[in-house]
Structure 1
Amino acid sequence: MSFALPSGIADRPVVVIGGGTLGRRIAAVFRSGGAPVRLVDLSPEQRSAAAEYVEATTEELRAKLDPAAVRAVRPFETFATAEDAVPGAWLVIEAVPERLDIKVPLFGRLDRIADADALLATNSSSYASSELLAEVDHPERVLNMHFAMPPASMAVELMGDGATADGVLDLLDRELRVFGLLPFIAQRESVGFIFNRIWAAIKRGSLAVVAEGVSTPEDVDGIMRANMGLAAGPFQLMDQVGLDVVLDIEEHYLAAYPWLPTESRDLVKSYVDAGKLGRKSGEGFYSYGADAA
């Protein structure tokens, strides 16, 4: 049976699974563009923090949209379980930790409870959606939808799983622009997609020169800003993403490409083992104030 693309999109919710740093930002982007948004997280604290972030940033994001096309603000709701939030949605976006033991069973659940025409997207920054299909019966509606770091960057990479139905990526290419997003389509499956394949090499080299004692995080960031005109250097960006997330990504790249050196991963791991996760914990490669998160 062929897959029917979702209809009635304007009136159906977007569901975000995971209320962490990226999940709440993704939710804010869709709410600002007029979508009803539901966010799922087991943690009451994460749900509360995500709701506060979405409320605080919605109007700021709306001011950047085309006033002629912007839709009225719709409800934002939080839920403890996907089973309560997913039915009725046209798009479900997973933004949970970069671990297959979490993502694979989650996609199996989502495939069982989502509407027949709902799209199931992973925000994974390193896993191809084809790696998440072990418990999925309908791979034609699964894809990668990797957000950079909205609202600072509104880029989003789209990539099919090898069986994604015709028209899915083109539909999202059109629809996501309503929310101020800038979609880029990967033409074939790639670990790291487009940008992260390039960024991974820069990040790995930056970590290596610090691990080897050649330089410091501050100087690496400084020279990258000076020579490349970057607003923030690699170590600042890793602190913003979260070093636990960076570590998960590096572990995945090493599994995919076992010939890569491990010194960059080992340096990040030493910080994570010490509880230094970056901005969200108050300290990473840099130190931050108590309310930095």
Structure 2
Amino acid sequence: MTYALPVNTADRPITIIGGGTLGRRIALMLSLQGAEVRVYDTSLAVARAAVEYIATHRHRAVEELGGSPAVRLAAKDNLVEALRDSWLVVEAVPEKLGLKQAIFADLDQLAAPDAVLASNSSSFSSAEFVGGLSSPERVLNMHFYMPPEVRSVELMSSGHTDPGILELLMGELPKYALKPHLVRKQSTGFIFNRIWAAIKRESLLVVAEGVAEPQDVDALFAEVFKAETTPFRFMDEVGLDVVLDIENHYCEVAGIENKSAAMLQAYIAKGWLGVKSGRGFYNDYS
């Protein structure tokens, strides 16, 4: 069966798979046009917390970025209900390859035949999810950073993606106050994260080797580059558990040892995951 691009995108639902830190922020942005946005999580409590987050913060996003004051949100722990008639599905679950492969196998069977299936993965190419799928041409990477503060989105083909999907999303995403960038060739880490990976890895090693403290690295980075965002503050925002998963994958792809793994594992073992747990490399999060 030939894949056909979705129609009536303005009226059809959007589904986010995963109600965590990034999933709920993605859902917030994709709610700006007033279409129904469903947040699916295996934990209904997490999905409901995500919807509550969106409802609480959405008015400010609408004031600053524009959009419809109307909002239709739904928390789901039933995947069939969450996917019904959605034109866009965005996966935002932990960076575990097996988990993502299982989710895309389910999406391939349960989503509407024309639904676009996007992965927010920051380290895995969607090419790694399409094996055995009946419609690999509707799968791609759609990588967000930390909206609404950072609204850039990178779009990357799986190598099988229908070019019409990329064209569709390049046109649709600005309607949600998002700034799409096309990754023109498959690249581990896409555009920004490929560059950021080198900065992050060396920053971690400088601290793991005892050369400096996180505060020293951040202070120098801020001064030299006149930057508001600094390496260790940024890693705390992302979550140190996520940072470890990403670093493990990058190092595996590159065929090198993750020399900062032990330090990250020690923080994680103490429950110091970053902003979401109240403490990470810094302990001043309330």
The Cα shift of 1:113 comes to 0.7
What is the alpha-carbon distance in structure 2 between the residues aligned to residue 83 and residue 247 of structure 1?
A: 32
SS at match of 2:173: helix
What is the alpha-carbon distance in structure 2 between the residues aligned to residue 111 and residue 135 of structure 1?
A: 10
The aligned counterpart of 1:205 is: 202
| Residue type at the aligned position of 2:59 | E
What is the alpha-carbon distance in structure 2 between the residues aligned to residue 281 and residue 72 of structure 1?
A: 31
Show structure 1 runs of 4+ deviating over 3 A. Answer: none
Is the Cα contact below 8 Å between 2:15 and 2:86 reproduced in 1? yes
What is the alpha-carbon distance in structure 2 between the residues aligned to residue 203 and residue 163 of structure 1?
A: 31
Could you tell me which of 252, 267, 272 is aligned with 1:271?
Answer: 267
Bigger shift: residues 230-239 or 87-96: 230-239
Q: TM-score if structure 2 supplies the norm length? A: 0.96
Is the Cα contact below 8 Å between 1:32 and 1:59 reproduced in 2? no
Could you tell me which of 85, 100, 103 is aligned with 1:88?
Answer: 85
Is the Cα contact below 8 Å between 2:14 and 2:30 reproduced in 1? yes
The aligned counterpart of 2:278 is: 282
Q: Deviations over 1:189-220 (max 9, x none)?
A: 11100000000000001001111111100111
Matching of residue 27 in structure 1 with residue 27 in structure 2: yes
Residue correspondences, number = 286
The Cα shift of 1:19 comes to 0.3
Is the Cα contact below 8 Å between 2:207 and 2:213 reproduced in 1? yes
The aligned counterpart of 1:120 is: 117
What is the alpha-carbon distance in structure 1 between the residues aligned to residue 48 and residue 243 of structure 2?
A: 25
The aligned counterpart of 1:47 is: 47
The aligned counterpart of 1:225 is: 222
Bigger shift: residues 123-132 or 1-10: 1-10
What is the alpha-carbon distance in structure 1 between the residues aligned to residue 279 and residue 223 of structure 2?
A: 24
The Cα shift of 1:63 comes to 1.6
The Cα shift of 1:44 comes to 3.0
Is the Cα contact below 8 Å between 2:24 and 2:53 reproduced in 1? yes
The Cα shift of 1:72 comes to 5.0
The aligned counterpart of 1:10 is: 10
The Cα shift of 1:288 comes to 3.6
Q: TM-score if structure 1 supplies the norm length? A: 0.94
Unaligned runs of 5+ in 1: none
> Equivalences for 1:96-111 in 2 at 5 Å?
96-111=93-108
Is the Cα contact below 8 Å between 2:44 and 2:76 reproduced in 1? no
Q: Deviations over 1:106-136 (max 9, x none)?
A: 1000010111110000000100000011342
The CA RMSD measured in Å over matched residues stands at 1.3
SS at match of 1:213: coil
The aligned counterpart of 2:126 is: 129
Q: Deviations over 1:61-118 (max 9, x none)?
A: 112335xxx3452310010122111020000000001001111011000010111110
The aligned counterpart of 1:189 is: 186
Matching of residue 141 in structure 1 with residue 138 in structure 2: yes
Matching of residue 242 in structure 1 with residue 239 in structure 2: yes
